[in-house]
């Protein structure tokens, strides 16, 4: 096997807070990314995802641990690291005094593209991301979604080998989400671009990721392919039921059934039921609902979604430490 493109070993970041106390934002994490893979880094707000990205992209100094890109320690060779990296930051850090076109061209020039090559690619990307009409407009006049599109175009302008997307689709309408993924997947397929994604939209990693890390309070709780992660939840297939209102007697009745392993109440109307068996589950579950004075609005059987895996893993933090891929 070839050397991984990105290797992270025992990475830690401790922030000093305003009151003098310490906050461990990233707590001794290790993982690696192979060239060409799409890696999703999922975690609740404040888990330390952006902090991790900032350290890998040479913007923030780790408290301890090592990061290697293409086998070279980024601390001793940050320039080589930056040459390979493209970043879509979580916030708008576009150059406000420049036009959309200039933002892209200058970025390309910083990365050694000739003016001609940079201008040509800038025009292509502006067209792809629906910004041609605003080519000569200053980005201070851009809407949130427009700025987000331009940030994405800028990050892929120099065709990076390792692309960091920190919640790239937040604020994007569905059509531009597709365009973003279209571009990212094309870079990934044609140039083996490796992608490091953080997102709160679970369907994106579900569709595109090779590996997923579930990350919480500075620690990786689970890491693997989605089928591997599915093994962490009590059942591979789950019954999703929606009723007019979940009642205590209903939960009690369900809990007494020998073929049900666990019940997760998602909200006042929705239940996820983890069965023990894969046989005839719906046929066994349906009568229970019929006996109860509740109105069943919807019921379906499906594989555990990433959403369920995520909820399950983050709610059972100590039980699992799977390092299928570490």
Partner 1 sequence: MRNQTSLNVFWIMVKRDLLIQWRNWAEFIFRVVMLPFILILTYGYVLPKIGVLPASFPNDLFPGMVGMSLLITGIHGTAVPLSMDFNNSREIEDRLQAPVPVMVTAWAKMFVGMIESWIGALLVLPISLIFMGQSLRLHLTTGNIFLLLLILLLSSFASAALGLLVGTIVKPNQIAAMFPGFLMPVIFTGAIFFSWSALVKLPFYQILVLVNPLVYINEALRHTMLGVGNAMPLTYSLIGILAFTILMGVLGMRRFRKMAVR
Binding site for partner 1 (CB under 8 A): 54, 57-61, 78-80, 82-83, 85, 87, 89, 91, 93-98, 102-103, 106-107, 109-113, 154, 158-159
Residue closer to partner 1, measured from CB, 49 or 107? 107
Count other C-beta atoms under 10 Å from residue 24's C-beta.
Answer: 15
Q: Which does 283 bind (CB under 5 to 8 A by kind): partner 1, Mg ion, ligand ATP, none?
A: none
Residue 264, CA distances (Å) to 109, 129, 193, 278, 309 in order = 53, 41, 38, 18, 12
- Between 61 and 90, how does the x/- string for binding to ligand ATP read (CB under 6 A)? -----------------------------x
Phi then psi dihedrals of residue 170, to 5 deg: -60, 125
Count of positions (residues) in the chain: 326
Does 45 participate in binding ligand ATP (rule CB under 6 A)?
Answer: yes
Residue 204, CA distances (Å) to 9, 174, 307 in order = 27, 12, 11
Q: Which does 85 bind (CB under 5 to 8 A by kind): ligand ATP, partner 1, Mg ion, none?
A: partner 1
Q: Which does 112 bind (CB under 5 to 8 A by kind): partner 1, Mg ion, ligand ATP, none?
A: partner 1
Does 25 participate in binding ligand ATP (rule CB under 6 A)?
Answer: yes
Q: Which does 317 bind (CB under 5 to 8 A by kind): ligand ATP, partner 1, Mg ion, none?
A: none
- As measured in angstroms, the least distance from the Cβ of 33 to partner 1 is 19
Does 201 participate in binding ligand ATP (rule CB under 6 A)?
Answer: no
Alpha-carbon distance of 172 to 7, in angstroms, equals: 31
Q: Classify the C-alpha dihedral 49-54-57-60 as positive or negative.
A: negative
Calculate the CA 40 to chain-centre distance: 4
The count of C-alpha atoms lying within 13 angstroms of the C-alpha of 268, restricted to the half-sphere facing its C-beta, is 2
Residue 267, CA distances (Å) to 61, 87, 102, 260, 271 in order = 41, 36, 48, 19, 7
Does 51 participate in binding ligand ATP (rule CB under 6 A)?
Answer: yes
Q: Which residues from 201-230 bind Mg ion, rule CB under 5 A?
A: none
Q: Which residues from 61-90 bind Mg ion, rule CB under 5 A?
A: 90
Does 46 participate in binding ligand ATP (rule CB under 6 A)?
Answer: yes
Q: Which does 48 bind (CB under 5 to 8 A by kind): Mg ion, partner 1, ligand ATP, none?
A: ligand ATP
Where do contacts with ligand ATP occur on this chain (CB under 6 A)?
A: 15, 17, 23, 25, 43, 45-51, 90
């Amino acid at each position: 096997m070839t050397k991984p493109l990105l290797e992270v070993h025992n990475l830690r970041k401790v922030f000093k807070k305003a009151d003098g106390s310490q906050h461990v934002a990233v707590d001794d994490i290790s993982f690696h990314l192979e060239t060409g893979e799409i890696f999703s880094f999922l975690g609740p707000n404040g888990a330390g995802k952006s902090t991790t990205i900032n350290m890998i992209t040479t913007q923030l100094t780790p408290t301890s641990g090592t990061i290697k890109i293409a086998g070279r320690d980024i601390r001793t060779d940050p320039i080589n690291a930056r040459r390979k990296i493209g970043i879509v930051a979580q916030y708008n850090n576009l150059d406000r005094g420049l036009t959309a076109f200039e933002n892209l061209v200058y970025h390309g020039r910083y990365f050694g593209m000739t003016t001609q090559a940079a201008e040509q690619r800038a025009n292509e990307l502006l067209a792809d991301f629906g910004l041609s009409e605003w080519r000569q407009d200053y980005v201070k006049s851009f809407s949130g979604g427009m700025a987000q599109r331009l940030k994405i175009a800028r990050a892929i302008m120099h065709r990076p080998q390792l692309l960091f997307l920190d919640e790239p689709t937040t604020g994007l309408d569905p059509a531009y989400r597709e365009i973003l993924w279209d571009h990212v997947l094309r870079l990934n397929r044609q140039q083996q671009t490796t992608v490091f994604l953080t997102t709160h939209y679970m369907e994106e990693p579900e569709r595109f990721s090779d590996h997923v890390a579930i990350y919480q309070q500075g620690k990786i709780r689970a890491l693997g392919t989605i089928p591997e992660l599915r093994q962490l939840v009590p059942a591979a297939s789950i019954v999703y039921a929606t009723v007019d209102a979940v009642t205590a007697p209903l939960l009690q009745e369900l809990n007494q059934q020998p073929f049900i392993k666990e019940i997760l109440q998602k909200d006042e109307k929705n239940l996820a039921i983890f069965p023990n068996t894969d046989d005839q589950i719906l046929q066994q579950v349906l009568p229970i609902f019929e006996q109860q004075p509740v109105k069943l609005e919807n019921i379906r059987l499906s594989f555990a979604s990433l959403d369920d895996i995520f909820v399950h893993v983050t709610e059972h933090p100590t039980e699992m430490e799977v390092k299928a891929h570490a």
